[in-house]
């Protein structure tokens, strides 16, 4: 309903950018929401830039992240969003931890009379990490992201979506969206899309598969050496997962999503899980 | 572009934006002394605890007239002068007080205000345009809870702090849409009755809303409840203001209610933490309220009246139960009221809230939301104990002193038996005076109702809505007189915590009542000893006295059916009228059927729509269809100018012609699907494209 959590992108990317939390829900004026998403991913292998699978020279790559996001309903039309990720990434002797990229932006309605369809515009800034280190928390560049996200529609005849236990009264529905991200400097321009299908298994629980595709236009310019044995600042991946979600209290949602990267280029072949909680306050 | 849909709807209006008169009684600065003419001179209502009627007033003659002639439900039908209660307990006569308010806001946002997702709480910039040209800037938002699902939204305008001035003394302008009550009468009548009962309540008055110079509809201004409302009754502004939490609906003033929402449900529900909200001062300190609730629970039954008299100001607890009982307000005692503790007098005052689901409206336990609340059921036959069995109420009814006081005050306001208070409020809510008020309000607001683009009375006419209210007044009066508060009633209140809140499915029943008619008159209910109406007869002409016996066989298939009609095409109710003695007479006959909820209904399983019901008359072995006026809201079927021969028995059944597809319930407004508003970004993009084209 409220926020699409995409921890999967970070797992596929390794180079974190774990600010990829996107939403199709525009908040009421004055409404506040906070969310936390804990993720863990591990990988022994990666796909190089020729999409050939091989082992990490440094051993096992582990990425533990805590994505945080906050939203505030500025007006009926716009919601302010702020996102940040704390990470601990390690591969053999190499490790890095701390604040990754930080994003601030705005979300707006694609349909003035409804909710569940939104655009986003975000500015991404590096959080002060060492972008030259072999294991790093991001590209170390400023980026600009524009996306559009879609979920089931809500209109004037719907019940109160803030009611505890509320879910769209649909046996199943789709959520999908995508974004493009342009960077200052070396990183390649990215384009990504996701699609989820959610199916009701009870009055409050939903389950369904999720697919996330990440692509770049070109391979970007050369940057600092990375764990994939090159200097290109780009990554391409396909991540699949299964999301189980529910509401655990008044305007409080929860999800757990096991996921795996099934195809990649300049990307880790990782498996992991993300667990998230978000809460809205009127 | 599609904004035109909205604009066209609103531009239909030709209602004028008149300024309210200088002596408008419901503005904060109004006092009884501002009333202009001697006819409107303020009269303080005498405290009704021990009052007696003025000498010369003969209540027995009134009762005898009602018995002989019935009630004139067309009273005031050609008048625009209304009898109503002012905010200071004064009785006023004159035109219906109606104000107008003109708002100005962005055109697109004026559409969003009504058509955006129902539970979005966003506000929009607005200006209140005053007559002198002054613009007061503020924000407008949608208010309410379940009523947000209607397209015609209730609105709240809050003026900005920087905006100097006010709208007739108000800086928070709360406009109830009355969308849940298409009659647009219930709340007005309810607040008026509460004032007549001696309660200090919020100011309310009809208000025409204009938005961007276009008429939108008729709203009910509902004063924002704050300490200053209670100060009007001399309670000061430094008191404590509480309201039960609407979402938890457990604030029944019991000691247990201070422990959160577990006590009324038996199990912990995730409904929040508190049964109450404290609005003023907003310090979260519930100590005073806890002391009251603990006192209500701990006080023994035989001294409860002393507790109530010492703790509640102006008998407001008892008056609240009286008013709710008269109005059949079942949506309270655990929610929908305010409570104010006055430091000045060290007493509590109860103020009712939310009277839209009254006067026949009923919750249906067998339907899902929102039809459980917003449905076409109609109830008449509930006593003054209606509503959630909260402890403050049940203990009041269990206390013999308070119980007697409640019965007498209820009877006084209905005009039953000996007066118990000011003569001028005796019979304030009697059928005839309610009908007069309804008729006059209709005369004053018929244009508004017809041009209100949002009103759902496009399904049922405004006349039908008003007639249903009048029939409620008649039927509920008859029931309370016979079963609860009349001299011959035997009502004993016994609280049984194991009794289910929902009535058991009704079984086959028989009603019977007789009346000897002497001369033509008005609407005369023939009332069974249970208090239920067997029929309402209005005799138009008669040659000799006749005794009419009216019999009803309810909740059972009629013993005989008209030709080519199956049982499922007919109501499970039939009626008999037997005349004895005298000569023939001509009368209008109204017969009711019951639909208290979707299960307890004579119309259950009916293969057709109730609006298509037609009465069939069996006389001398021959069935003849009758021209029938159906009121689907009040569940009544009327045949006009029916000839009743002497010493005959006429049998009636009500059937539909053939199975029909039920029509879609509609709000009467433009569907969301037919309305579109560009987003600000979309609008900017469109401007950009337009400029490129140029």
Please say whether the beta carbons of B163 and B207 come within 8 A. Answer: no
What is the enclosing helix (H) or strand (E) of B62?
Answer: helix B59-69
Give the 3-state DSSP-derived string for B105-145, with helices as H, strands as E and coil as C.
CCHHHHHHHHHCCCCCCCEEEEEEECCCCCEEEEEEEEECC
SS3 B469: helix
B190, pLDDT greater than 90: yes
Q: What is the dihedral of CA A52, A58, A62, A66, to 10 degrees?
A: -100
Query: Are B672 and A113 an interchain contact pair (Cβ–Cβ within 8 Å)?
Result: yes
Residue A156 within any structural domain of the chain = yes
A193-222: average pLDDT: 91
B180-208: average pLDDT: 94
Low-confidence winner among A124-128, B137-141, B240-244, B504-508 (lowest mean pLDDT): B504-508
Residue A249: its pLDDT value, please?
A: 77
| CATH number, domain containing residue A44 | 2.40.160.40
Domain range spanning residue A139?
8-281
Contacts for B192 with CB less than 8 Å, ≥ 6 apart = B84, B85, B437
- Residue with the two structure tokens 């008159």: B521
**Cα distance between residue B150 and residue B672, in whole Å:** 11
Instruction: Give the ipTM of the model, two decimals please.
Output: 0.83
Neighbours of B381 (CB within 10 A): 19
Q: Which residues pair with B589 in a beta bridge?
A: B537, B639
Residue A120 within any structural domain of the chain = yes
Q: Is pLDDT larger for residue A227 or for residue B553? A: B553
Neighbours of B549 (CB within 10 A): 17
B362, pLDDT greater than 50: yes
A239-263: average pLDDT: 91
Chain A residues 159-178 with a CB less than 8 Å from chain B: 159-162, 164-165
**Cα distance between residue A111 and residue B405, in whole Å:** 58
CB contacts, 8 Å: B682 with chain A = 112
Confidence of residue A200 (pLDDT cuts 50, 70, 90): confident
Query: Are A157 and B118 an interchain contact pair (Cβ–Cβ within 8 Å)?
Result: yes
A16, pLDDT greater than 60: no
Residue A2 within any structural domain of the chain = no
What is the enclosing helix (H) or strand (E) of A80?
Answer: strand A78-91
- The first and second tokens of residue A184, run together, are 């200052």
B55, pLDDT greater than 70: no
Low-confidence winner among A76-85, A150-159, A247-256 (lowest mean pLDDT): A150-159
Please say whether the beta carbons of B262 and B232 come within 8 A. Answer: no
SS3 B333: coil
Q: Is pLDDT larger for residue B500 or for residue B367? A: B367
Confidence of residue B659 (pLDDT cuts 50, 70, 90): low
CA A190 to chain centre: 14
B32-56: average pLDDT: 39
CB contacts, 8 Å: A249 with chain B = 270
B547-599 pLDDT, tens per residue? Answer: 999 999 999 999 999 999 999 999 999 999 999 988 899 999 999 999 988 88
- The first and second tokens of residue B399, run together, are 């206390």
B118 touches chain A (CB under 8 A): yes
Is the alpha carbon torsion for B630, B631, B637, B638 positive or negative?
negative
Low-confidence winner among A79-93, B49-63, B274-288 (lowest mean pLDDT): B49-63
B658 touches chain A (CB under 8 A): no
Query: Are B122 and A28 an interchain contact pair (Cβ–Cβ within 8 Å)?
Result: yes
Residue A1 within any structural domain of the chain = no
B188-205: average pLDDT: 96
What is the enclosing helix (H) or strand (E) of B434?
Answer: helix B431-451
What distance in Å separates residue A26's CA from the closest CA in chain B? Answer: 10
B598-648 pLDDT, tens per residue? Answer: 888 999 999 999 999 999 999 989 999 999 999 999 999 999 999 999 999
CB contacts, 8 Å: B120 with chain A = 28-29, 76, 115
Q: List the single residue in B with minimal CA-CA distance to A25.
A: B120
B122 touches chain A (CB under 8 A): yes
CA B606 to chain centre: 28
Domains: count for chain A: 1
Confidence of residue A168 (pLDDT cuts 50, 70, 90): low
B408-421 b/e (C-beta count within 10 Å ≥ 16 → b): bbbbbbbbbbebbb
A161-173: average pLDDT: 54
Low-confidence winner among A21-25, B28-32, B550-554 (lowest mean pLDDT): B28-32
B664 touches chain A (CB under 8 A): no
Among A114, A157, A282, select the one facing B121 at the smallest CB separation.
A282
**Cα distance between residue B119 and residue B562, in whole Å:** 50
B90-116 b/e (C-beta count within 10 Å ≥ 16 → b): bbbebebbbbbbbbbbeebbbbbbbbb
A211, pLDDT greater than 70: yes
SS3 A248: strand
Residue A207 within any structural domain of the chain = yes
Residue A3 within any structural domain of the chain = no
B108 touches chain A (CB under 8 A): yes
């Amino acid at each position: 309903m409220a926020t699409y959590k995409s921890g999967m992108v970070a797992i596929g990317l390794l180079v974190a950018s774990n600010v990829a939390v996107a939403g199709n829900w525009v908040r009421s004026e004055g409404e506040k929401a906070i969310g936390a998403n804990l993720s863990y991913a591990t990988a022994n292998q990666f796909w190089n830039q020729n999409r050939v699978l091989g082992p990490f020279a440094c051993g096992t790559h582990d990425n533990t992240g805590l994505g945080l996001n906050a939203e505030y309903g500025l007006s009926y039309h716009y919601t302010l969003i702020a996102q940040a990720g704390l990470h601990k990434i390690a591969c053999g002797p190499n490790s890095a931890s701390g604040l990754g990229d930080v994003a601030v932006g705005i979300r707006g309605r694609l349909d003035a009379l409804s909710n569940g369809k939104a655009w986003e515009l975000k500015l991404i800034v590096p959080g002060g990490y060492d972008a030259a280190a072999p294991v790093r928390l991001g590209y170390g560049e400023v980026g600009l992201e524009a996306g559009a996200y879609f979920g089931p529609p809500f209109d004037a005849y719907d019940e109160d979506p803030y009611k505890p236990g509320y879910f769209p009264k649909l046996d199943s529905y789709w959520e999908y969206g995508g974004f493009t991200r342009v960077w200052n400097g070396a990183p390649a321009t990215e384009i990504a899309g996701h699609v989820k299908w959610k199916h009701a298994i009870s009055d409050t629980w939903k389950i369904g598969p999720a697919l996330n595709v990440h692509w770049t236009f070109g391979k970007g310019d050369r940057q600092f050496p990375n764990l994939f044995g090159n200097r290109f600042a780009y990554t391409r991946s396909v991540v699949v997962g299964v999301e189980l979600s529910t509401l655990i209290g008044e305007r409080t949602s929860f999800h757990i999503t096991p996921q795996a990267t099934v195809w990649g280029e300049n990307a880790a072949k990782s498996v992991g899980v993300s667990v998230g909680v978000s809460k809205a306050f009127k | 572009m599609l904004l035109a849909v909205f604009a066209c709807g609103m531009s239909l209006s030709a209602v004028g934006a008149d300024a309210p008169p200088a002596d408008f009684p419901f503005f904060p600065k109004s006092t009884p002394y501002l009333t202009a003419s001697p006819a409107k001179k303020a009269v303080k209502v005498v405290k009704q605890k021990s009052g007696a009627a003025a000498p010369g007033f003969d209540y027995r003659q009134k009762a005898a007239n009602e018995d002989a002639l019935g009630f004139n439900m067309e009273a005031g039908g050609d008048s625009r002068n209304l009898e109503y209660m002012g905010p200071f307990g004064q009785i006023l006569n004159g035109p219906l007080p109606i104000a107008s308010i003109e708002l100005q806001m962005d055109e697109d946002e004026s559409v969003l205000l009504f058509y955006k997702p129902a539970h979005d709480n966003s506000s929009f910039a607005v200006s209140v345009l005053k007559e002198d040209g002054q613009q007061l800037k503020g924000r407008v938002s949608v208010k309410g809870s379940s009523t947000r699902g209607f397209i015609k939204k209730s609105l709240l305008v809050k003026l900005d702090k920087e905006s100097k001035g006010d709208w007739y003394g108000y800086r928070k302008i709360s406009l109830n849409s009355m969308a849940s009550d298409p009659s647009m009468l219930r709340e007005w009548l309810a607040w008026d009755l509460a004032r007549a009962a001696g309660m200090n309540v919020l100011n309310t008055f009809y208000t025409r809303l204009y938005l961007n110079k276009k008429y939108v509809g008729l709203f009910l201004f509902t004063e924002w409840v704050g300490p200053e409302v209670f100060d009007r009754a001399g309670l000061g502004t430094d008191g404590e203001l509480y309201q039960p939490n609407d979402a938890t609906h457990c604030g029944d003033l019991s000691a247990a209610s201070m422990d959160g929402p577990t006590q009324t449900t038996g199990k912990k529900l995730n409904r929040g933490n508190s049964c109450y909200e404290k609005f003023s001062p907003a310090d979260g300190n519930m100590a005073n309220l806890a002391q009251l609730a603990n006192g209500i629970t701990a006080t023994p039954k035989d001294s409860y009246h002393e507790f109530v008299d010492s703790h509640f100001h102006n008998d407001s607890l008892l008056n609240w139960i009286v008013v709710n009982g008269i109005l059949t307000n079942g949506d309270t005692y655990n929610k929908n009221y305010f409570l104010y503790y006055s430091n000045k007098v060290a007493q509590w005052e109860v103020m009712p809230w939310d009277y839209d689901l009254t006067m026949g409206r009923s919750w249906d336990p067998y339907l899902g939301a929102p039809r459980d609340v917003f449905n076409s059921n109609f109830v008449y036959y509930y006593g003054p104990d209606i509503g959630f069995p909260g402890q403050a109420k049940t203990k009041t009814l269990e206390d013999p002193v308070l119980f007697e006081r409640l019965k007498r005050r209820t009877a006084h306001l209905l005009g039953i038996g000996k007066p118990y208070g000011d003569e001028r409020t005796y019979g304030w809510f009697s059928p005839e005076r309610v009908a007069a008020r309804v008729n006059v309000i209709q005369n004053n607001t018929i244009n508004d109702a017809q041009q209100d683009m949002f009103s759902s009375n496009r399904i049922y006419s405004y006349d039908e809505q008003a007639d249903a209210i009048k029939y409620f007044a008649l039927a509920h009066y008859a029931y309370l007189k016979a079963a609860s508060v009349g001299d011959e009633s035997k009502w004993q209140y016994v609280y049984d915590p194991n009794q289910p809140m929902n009535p058991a499915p009704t079984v086959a029943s028989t009603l019977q009542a007789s009346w000897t008619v002497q001369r033509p008159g008005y609407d005369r209910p023939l009332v069974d000893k249970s208090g239920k109406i067997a029929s309402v007869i209005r005799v138009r002409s008669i040659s000799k006295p006749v005794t009419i016996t009216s019999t009803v066989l309810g909740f059972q298939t009629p013993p005989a059916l008209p030709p080519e009609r199956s049982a499922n095409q007919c109501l499970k109710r039939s009626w008999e009228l037997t005349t004895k003695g005298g000569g023939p007479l001509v009368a209008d006959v109204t017969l009711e059927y019951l639909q208290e909820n979707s299960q307890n209904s004579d119309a259950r399983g009916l293969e057709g729509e109730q609006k298509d019901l037609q009465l069939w008359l069996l006389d001398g072995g021959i069935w003849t269809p009758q021209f029938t006026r159906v009121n689907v809201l009040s569940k009544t079927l009327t045949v006009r100018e029916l000839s009743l021969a002497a010493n005959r028995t006429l049998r009636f059944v009500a059937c539909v012609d053939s199975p029909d597809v039920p029509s879609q319930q509609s709000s009467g407004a433009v569907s969301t699907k037919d309305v579109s508003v560009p987003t600000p970004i979309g609008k900017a993009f469109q401007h950009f494209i337009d400029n490129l084209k140029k």
